Amino acid sequence: MSTALLTDLTIFILALLVGIEVIGKVPATLHTPLMSATNAIHGIVLVGALLIGLSAHNAVGYILAFVAAVFASANVVGGYVVTGRMLKMFRRKEVRPEPGQPGLDQVNGHKGIKGFAGRIGIGRTQS
């Protein structure tokens, strides 16, 4: 067994253990975004697809390189964008509709202050 292979295997095993440790801490709420984020991460195979280009010099090589590049780049870009889209939706508090709470209107009565107060959370009832 060569040193290079031994190194690769060591890295693989350690990464597996790190993965188990890190992923185990992800809450169930985020499992779907987690899965799509890991989806984007395995798009790193794009590097492998691009490296085919180093030695490709005939139709077979070009076709394989092309298909692999299409697959892997769709994986990277799509995975990243859709994960971002999902995570943007996760909010701690409900976003109030623009004019603010009806109650707040009556208390403040002043548009400018109400807008500002709403933004920094002043006057918001704890529920």
**Interface residue with another protein, options 54, 106, 119, 126 (CB under 8 A):** 54
86 lines the binding site for another protein (CB under 8 A): yes
Q: State which residue, 17 or 113, has the beta carbon closest to another protein.
A: 17
Question: Binding to another protein (CB under 8 A): which residues in 55-74?
Answer: 55-57, 60-62, 64-74
CB-based contact 43:68 (threshold 8 Å): no
Separation CA 105–CA 49 (nearest Å): 59
92 lines the binding site for another protein (CB under 8 A): yes
Q: State which residue, 23 or 113, has the beta carbon closest to another protein.
A: 23
Give the shortest CB-108-to-another protein separation in angstroms: 19
Give the shortest CB-2-to-another protein separation in angstroms: 10
CB-based contact 39:75 (threshold 8 Å): yes
20 lines the binding site for another protein (CB under 8 A): yes
Q: State which residue, 92 or 119, has the beta carbon closest to another protein.
A: 92
Q: What are phi and psi of 20, to 5 degrees?
A: -60, -40
Q: How far from 109 is each of 105, 122, 124, 126, CA to CA, in Å?
A: 5, 14, 15, 20
116 lines the binding site for another protein (CB under 8 A): no
